[in-house]
Amino acid sequence: MQPTETHFEVTPGLTQVKILDFDAIRFINFEAEINFPESDGVIQVENFGMHLHVSGAVLYGVKIDAIMNHTERSIPLDLLARLLVDVHQDSSGIIHDLLSRYQLSVLDMLFMGKAEQRNKYNLITAAVIEPKLPARMYLDKGERENELKQVLGEIYACYDITRDDVLFLGRDGCLLSGPGAERYEALLTTFMGLNSREIFIRNFFVRTFVLNDMLMNLRQSIRNYRKHGEHALKGVKKSLSDAARHMILLIECLQYLLESVEALELPPVPVDIAGSKIYKSLQLLERKNNVIVRCKDSIKLIERLRTQLDTLITKFEGISRLQLTYVSQGFDINIQRLTESLRVRDQLGENLDVIRMIFAGNLSFDIIDRLSGGTFNVPNPSWFLDWIKKPIIDVPLAFLVINLLWLAVVWIAIQAWLDRQVFRAGATLVIRAHTDKRINLMQLRRFLSQRDLQLGTFEYELGGRPELQSYIWVEDCFPSKGSTTHVMIVVDEKQKLLRSIRLQIACPLEESVPIHSRRLSRGMHRMRSYSTLRRPSRRLHPAPSSVTTMENNILEQFSILLRGEGVYQERHAPLARLGSQLNLLALTHSYNQETNTDNPMEVERRFWKGLRGTMDAPVYGADIVASLFGNVDALSWNLGDLNTILRKIDLPGVTRPMLYFGMWRAMFAFHTEDMDLFSINYVHTGKPKFWYGIPPDAAPQLERAAQSMFPEKHHTCSQFLRHKTSLISPARLREFGVPFYRAYQKPGEFVITFPAAYHQGFNLGLNIAEAVNFASLHWIPYGLKAKVCKCLPDSVRIDMDSFLTKLFSEPPSGPELLGDDPWVFSCKCHKYCSSNSSDVEVEAKVTAVEGKYIRVHYKGESADNDEWLPVSSKELQRRIVAVEPPLVKTKDL
């Protein structure tokens, strides 16, 4: 059975279900015939009548015809008790398939994984009880009472209703015996429903104790987390999540229970004497009120537990923030060490140049000394006196000039030789591939015998036989001419498997570019053609990068080499690539290509020329929440300690400084800051940055130009420029008549962008920059008019109502906040203009602040006036039409 379906689907021969009657919203009644397999010789026919009500009540009805060899006229209570156990188990199995996942989760939480064994309340009616005795005679503390306890639990009351009717009330059930028992079914089922709710509340109360113990253990774990280590926080986090989920379920089911009890309508008092006596004995109204009182008391109890849980969550969040602070501090230290290492590297390079110069000088001067033979302690030969001493040494300053020229020649020669050595192995690449491919060991040994093996290592198993063996050799002119590759393969000779391959390639810089753009070999072309024929549909994954293509190409060439020698015999199975590691320090030519930044315009030309798709994508690490300003710079030259009005709010990524690590050609497209804020950018070290800026008054021109250049993006999002994906060249800006300015930012310089000013730029080489947003009072009109991109989930939004209220109501405020430079804007005014038009713009400025009100001074056409306005973004946004004072209009003569 599935609760979401419109029919019952059961295994044939086990259960037959027949719907009796139903209401689309309130209830459903159906009958189920259970024919579960039993032991040999046992025949069980069991018919369930089930009633499901919208209040949450579930009733199971069974009419007992016979149990074993006892008919309905004489059924012992011990057999009846055994039958009730089967009824409880079978009913739990039937209702399990009718409940939703949410209902099952509530039951599993409340009964702690033992929902199938939950206790139910029994209502038993019988025509007669034997022996028939007065009610008090059954409670004899002996055999009769124990028999009744099997089905009713602890009996707390019994009543003689009439001469033939007797009523027993127990903790787990009630029994009405008499010929008129069926007439009072409505009273008894209402009483049974109230007792079932009491049972639920009892289990609820026990569950709150368990949850309270769980919270106490969590409190102890949080208190001692330093003793148990940081790994204990993972268990605390999971336990807090489980406790919060259980708390939500407890609150919800308690609310449902309270609604169910309050909506329960009690049946009227019967008019006959027996019925009124039963009604009085059951005490339905008092019992209902008691259930409501217990529900409300449970609400107080669960609220206390909820407060404890909130406190624990707050403590855990504090610990998490503290751990994050430690990580951030460690990250800052690592970044500072990285920066310091780059500076030390630059200093070492300068020192190395000095050492080279000293070496070149000593070498050149020693060579000149050897020419004269003076080091052999013999007289100078005559040719030296005639050809060198008289025409050169005796001439003033001539020998010094010749020595300096000779030093320059030696220095140039040494530098050329060093550059050639670097150039011959200037680009390096490491490729690791995990293969696990079947190979031919005989062909492998023949192949290795032709190579000059440098090293072979073994890993032995317990028997002394080598399990894995690695071979290392140098492969010349692979994968291209002039390159050298150190090859390391790991072989499992027992299984005849090639486990892994490691290729360390060193090649000249001039050969590294063809590797990036080299066409695929014939084998790779055949494989791609085959895959294209088999899968003609469009690709759902992004195109591979040039580095990935290069690595796959090199691995495919190496597999062709092994196939040619008969080592690797599979023709269509490529070698899988495990990963790669680029030597960034050796590939400085690729990432720091533009070393000559003396001519920024030439660098700009090469940047836009390189965007035609012939170069690899640059490496750019952006938006790293950290700062390189240490404690020494806490009060000066610190981007994290700006005097900004945003200090009253905390916006990650806006009010906290961020670091940017960029290589040559690392770029950022045209955009304005979030909420059109100010921004300040500082280059700590490295190469300069190149900026393009658009004046704020030309922003509409740029937006119209971008809309015409990128119509699809504009159709998707009107604020697509905030996506930072639209790069526009200066030539296109001139074509559309958009004014722009260039800026050349060197290390140690600041660049400040103003509100609503679009900007883009790129790096001229490896550098480290830091940026943060800030705001002054002049930004408020821009913030009120700022537009937000709704398609980006991480778009920054500032609630201007609460921000302005917090800004002007909390200190510092008033004259301290305004200072001597009140912010000026242009607004619409009806009151202080001589014109009747409502569209007349006047100049306005804020001159005073008191609490949540600001005083605006209007400079009208006829007179100047003041007005107090509430600090409300809606009110100000309705009035403000521009962020600059309106132009003075000359009257017609």
- We report the CATH number of the domain holding residue 627 as 2.60.120.650
**What was the pLDDT predicted at 85?**
86
The answer to whether the beta carbons of residues 99 and 2 sit under 8 Å apart is no
Flag whether 330 is in a domain: no
Determine contact, residues 159/166, Cβ cutoff 8 Å. Answer: yes
Single out the residue in 392, 423, 454 at which a domain terminates: 423
Contacts of 458 (CB under 8 A, 6+ apart): 466, 468, 469
pTM, 2 dp:
0.46
* Residues 704 and 600 grouped into a single domain: yes
Task: Decide if 501 contacts 437 (C-beta within 8 A).
Answer: no
For 578-597, give one letter per residue: b (16+ CB within 10 A) or e: eebeeeeebbbbbbbbbeee
Residues 703 and 751 placed together within one structural domain of the fold? yes
The answer to the question of residue 337 being in a domain is no
Q: Give the residue numbers spanning the domain of 838.
A: 800-882
Same domain, 705 and 650: yes
| Residue 550 and residue 630 share a domain | no
Q: Cα dihedral angle (733, 736, 738, 740), rounded to 10 degrees?
A: 20
Residue 627 within a domain: yes
Q: What is the pLDDT of residue 521?
A: 40
**On the CB side of 52, how many CA atoms lie within 13 Å of its CA?**
17
Residue 208 covered by a domain: no
d(CA 355, CA 332): 34
pLDDT of the residue at 541? 33
Predicted pLDDT of residue 530: 35
**CA atoms lying within 13 Å on the CB side of residue 642:** 20
The CA dihedral of 67, 73, 78, 81, to the nearest 10 degrees, is 70
Contact 360, 407 (CB under 8 A): yes
Q: What is the pLDDT of residue 184?
A: 86
Residues 739 and 823 in one domain: no
Phi, psi of 831 (to 5 degrees): -80, -40
Decide if 309 is inside a domain: no
Give the pLDDT of residue 733: 92
Q: Give me the pLDDT at residue 876, please.
A: 62
The beta-carbon contacts of 327-331 under 8 Å, at least 24 apart in sequence, are: 328/625, 328/626, 331/624, 331/626
**Count of domains in the chain?**
4
Are residues 400 and 441 located together in one domain of the fold?
A: no
Beta strand spans in 318-410 (E): none
In the chain, % helix, strand, coil (3-state, to 5) comes to: 45, 20, 35
Tokens, residue 846: 């804020």
**Cβ count near 615 (within 10 Å):** 18
H/E element, 19: strand 15-22
101 assigned to some structural domain: no
Residues in CB range of 208: below 8 A, 6 or more apart: 250, 298, 301, 302, 305
Residues 695, 757, single domain; the answer is yes
* Cα–Cα distance, 491 to 415 (Å, whole number): 44
Same domain (yes/no): 606, 744: yes
Domain end marker among 758, 785, 812: 785
Closest CA to 162 of 279, 280, 275, 271: 275
Q: Same domain, yes or no, for 553 and 411? A: no
Distance in angstroms (rounded) separating the CA atoms of residues 366 and 364: 5
Phi, psi of 239 (to 5 degrees): -65, -40
Domain assignment present for 508? yes
In a domain, residue 122? The reply is no
Q: Do 568 and 600 fall within a single domain?
A: no
* Alpha carbon distance 503, 486 (integer Å): 6
Residue 88 has what pLDDT?
A: 84
pLDDT of residue 809: 66
Side-chain-facing half-sphere of 847: CA atoms under 13 Å: 12
Sheet of strand 767-774, all strands in order from the earlier edge strand to the far edge: 620-625, 658-662, 767-774, 678-686, 750-753
SS3 168: strand
CA distances from residue 649 to 26, 655, 803, 853 in whole angstroms, order as listed:
52, 8, 8, 20
Domain boundary among 406, 423, 440: 423
CA angle, residues 412, 416, 419, in degrees to nearest 5: 140
> Which of 621, 597, 619, 607 is CA-nearest to residue 744?
597
Q: Are residues 621 and 516 in the same domain?
A: no
Are 517 and 659 in the same domain?
no
Buried b (16+ CB within 10 A) or exposed e, 33-72: ebeeeeeeeeeeebebebbbeebbbbbbebebeeeeeeee
The continuous run of DSSP H or E covering 252 comes out as helix 232-262
Strands (E), 452-578: 455-460, 466-476, 484-492, 497-507
Task: State how beta strands 466-476 and 166-170 pair.
Answer: unpaired
Q: Which residues does the chain have with pLDDT short of 50?
A: 1, 12-13, 514-545, 578-592, 594, 632-633, 813-821, 832-838, 885-893
